[in-house]
Amino acid sequence: MMDLQDIRRDFRKGTLTRDELIDDPIEQFKLWMQQALTTDLVDPTAMVLATSARDGQVSQRVVLLKGLDERGFVFYTNYESRKSREMSVNSKVSLHFPWFAIERQVMVCGVAEKVSLEESRAYFQSRPRDSQLAAWASPQSRVLSSREAMMQQLENLQKKYADAQIPLPEFWGGFRVRPCQIEFWQGGANRLHDRFVYTLQPGQAWQIDRLAP
């Protein structure tokens, strides 16, 4: 058995108090995201998305946050991928932002729903051309006969759209996670971390509670 018992570190980079928190968790998240963007964090917009299948099996993967407003957190993907198929069965999902280098984490629980066609098209057209072609070329989450077959498909698409605008695939677009709970975690000395959770109440008010670490 691999022995990992002695791998540990202490957390000394900050604290979090109730007085520091903004009453609106979306605004609090924007503040933390802006602070993360000013550090040397790798991929601060990367978040772990957890979904569950019909049989209850949970799966996770990393996606990129591409938009945020009072309605929720937006990311884009193939609508035929495993995550999309699982969200069509159970729209309750979880997001996790692992900002370990600055000793912070944010956890989001909510419900995923597709964004509008207009939003998906606008974002797709803003992507680099190679990324647009890749969305068409990759049958995401499907079994591939070989990488060569996928690359051949990409080459065919490059020729097909050499002198034309690349359209939005019918099978590709965005999801918005509407949060019902958002937790902010700040690492603390001696494992006494600061944790505050916002829980959405009837009438769309947010209740803030401190959690034991």
Show which residues are catalytic: 191
Helical residues (DSSP H) of 6-95, grouped into ranges: 25-37, 82-89
Other beta carbons less than 10 A from residue 75's beta carbon: 21
Q: Pull the structure tokens for residue 47.
A: 């978040």
Please write down the HEC assignment for all residues of 12-36.
Answer: CCCCCCHHHCCCCHHHHHHHHHHHH
129-166 burial code (b ≥16 CB/10 A, e <16): eeebbebbbbebeeeeeeeeeeeeebeebeeeeeeeeb
Q: Pull the structure tokens for residue 177.
A: 């996670």
3-state DSSP helix/strand/coil % of the chain, to nearest 5: 30, 35, 35
